[in-house]
Amino acid sequence: MLTSPLDTFDNQVIAHYHREALDRYLKLKAIGQSSRAALSGAFGYAYASVMNQQYYIDLIESSDAYTSALPQYVVQFKEHAVWSPEISARTLAAIATDQSLKASDRISAAKELNVMYGVTIVDENGKTRKGSMTLDDLLKITPSTQGAADPKVH
């Protein structure tokens, strides 16, 4: 007998009560989404808006249904890029331009983008200096030419 919504996430019954949402959660995790994003995207606002989301995430990700199915989902969605230079740049750009974040986080993201695109380089001593890219070079960057810059990783 179920006594609370959390009971439907019990290891023995989660697949029975939440099969469709669990499948979507598995897919989202297999393609690299965070657990919070997967909870929201698969189970919806009612679960994602609770104060202690981590309880639901822990129950889902420790269930036998999840742990036994995740490897199959990873194989099924292996063609989906979990990370790439494009995803990295877009993630950093989102951070750099998000006015709600701390200025230090935004500056760090901008610095990383500058290095990725050759606006600045980091020398062997860890000092940052102007790179070889000009403003005209930056404006010419398109998705097909993004790999053309010589990214320096530090």
The tens digit of pLDDT for each residue in 62-93 reads: 999 999 999 999 999 999 888 888 889 989 99
Mean residue pLDDT across the chain: 85
| Helix (H/G/I), strand (E/B), else coil: 71 | helix
In a domain, 118, yes or no: yes
pLDDT digits (tens, 9 = 90+) for 2-40: 566 688 999 989 999 999 999 999 999 999 999 999 999
Tell me which of 52, 76, 100 is where a domain ends.
76
Same domain, 139 and 91: yes
pTM of the prediction? Answer: 0.66
Dist CA 49 CA 33 (whole Å): 17
CA atoms of 103 and 25, how far apart (whole Å): 33
What confidence score (pLDDT) does residue 148 get? Answer: 43
Smallest Cα–Cα separation from 29: which of 1, 64, 71?
71
Sign of the alpha-carbon dihedral angle for 88, 93, 96, 100: negative
Mean pLDDT of 113-137: 78
Domain membership flag for residue 36: yes
What is the band of 133 on the pLDDT scale with cuts at 50, 70, 90?
low
- Same domain flag for 46 and 64: yes
Same domain, 10 and 64: yes
CA distance 110 to 114: 6
Tokens representing residue 69 in the block: 């199915």
Whether 101 contacts 108, CB under 8 Å:
no
- The domain tally of the chain equals 2
Domain that holds residue 127: 85-148
Same domain, 9 and 72: yes
- Residue 153 domain flag: no
Task: Using the 3D structure, point to which of 13, 48, 76 is the last residue of a domain.
Answer: 76
Residue 47 lies in a domain: yes
Considering the domain architecture, whether residues 63 and 89 belong to the same structural domain is answered as: no
Q: What is the C-alpha separation between 22 and 14, in angstroms, rounded?
A: 8
Distance in angstroms (rounded) separating the CA atoms of residues 34 and 13: 24
Indicate whether 121 and 91 sit together in one domain.
Answer: yes
**Whether 90 and 72 share a structural domain:** no
Position 67 in a domain: yes
Same domain, 92 and 52: no
The answer to whether residue 52 is domain-embedded is: yes
Q: Does residue 19 sit in the same domain as residue 64?
A: yes
